[in-house]
Amino acid sequence: MAKREVPEINAGSMADIAFLLLIFFLVTTTMDVDKGLNRKLPPWDDSPDVVESVVKEKNVFTVLLNSQDQLLVEDEYMDVRDLRAAAKEFIDNNGDGTCDVCRGTGDPKSSDNPIKAVVSLQNDRGTSYEAYIMVQNELVAAYNELRNELSQRQFGKPYNDLGTDAQKFVQEKYPQIISEAEPVNIGG
């Protein structure tokens, strides 16, 4: 009996099918990776009574942002471009000399040490989101730069490349303390 030949399947349209799938995926999917500033909110507290503040005035770095997106830092008008440097100077001040890794000037009117230093941010209800994020970004950047500088001096590589223990060490030297007050409505 003659061997019957199996007819070959025409694969010519395979490319078309694959193209169709490809275009489907191109249309329905997005490539953007989600990135952003990570912040932690304070837990909700029902009691409205004011807690007596135990933080010394000189250990607080006050940042106010009004409805015109203008910045008032430590009772002085400031451009957002200078905020990062000012925040770094405040955190790294080392007024009481207990911080062994700080390189600040030790100004007695500024913060005692990075562990006690608190950055306090208050915005208006009329502040734009863009300005708010910019200020948040600068404050986080100030901490990140200090951590990076310390890690370069101590370990010779950037903070992100450190091991878990070393990162913890740097974090303990420069804890990120940014406190946010509830927004006020002053500037309409």
Partner 1 sequence: MGKIRKEKSKGTPPLSTASLPDIVFMLLFFFMVTTTMREVDLKLIMKKPRATEVQKLERKDLVTYIYVGRPKNTATYGIEPRVQLDDQLATVDDIQGFVVVKREEINEKERPLMTVSLKADVNVKMGFIGDIKQELRKAQALKLNYSTNPAADQEDLFRTL
Give the number of other CB atoms < 10 A from CB of residue 49.
6
Distance CA 125, CA 66 (A): 8
**156 part of the interface to partner 1, by CB under 8 A:** no
Q: Are strands 60-65 and 71-73 parallel, antiparallel or unpaired?
A: antiparallel
**182 part of the interface to partner 1, by CB under 8 A:** yes
Distance of alpha carbon 148 from the chain centroid: 14
Binding pattern for the stretch 86-125 against partner 1, x by CB under 8 A and - elsewhere: -------------------------------------xxx
In this chain, which of 2, 4, 6, 40 binds partner 1, going by CB under 8 A?
40
Q: Which helix (H) or strand (E) holds 22?
A: helix 14-28
CB 154 within 8 A of CB 165: no
Q: Which is nearer to partner 1, 62 or 144 (CB)?
A: 144
In this chain, which of 127, 151, 159, 174 binds partner 1, going by CB under 8 A?
127
- Among the listed ranges 22-30, 50-58, 111-119, 151-159, the one in contact with partner 1 (CB under 8 A) is 22-30
Give, in degrees to the nearest 5, the angle at Cα 169 between 167 and 173: 115
Q: Which helix (H) or strand (E) holds 64?
A: strand 60-65
In this chain, which of 126, 148, 154, 177 binds partner 1, going by CB under 8 A?
126
For binding to partner 1 (CB under 8 A), which residues are involved? 11-12, 14-15, 17-19, 21-22, 25-26, 28-31, 33-44, 65, 80-81, 84, 123-130, 132-134, 136-137, 140-141, 144, 182-183, 185
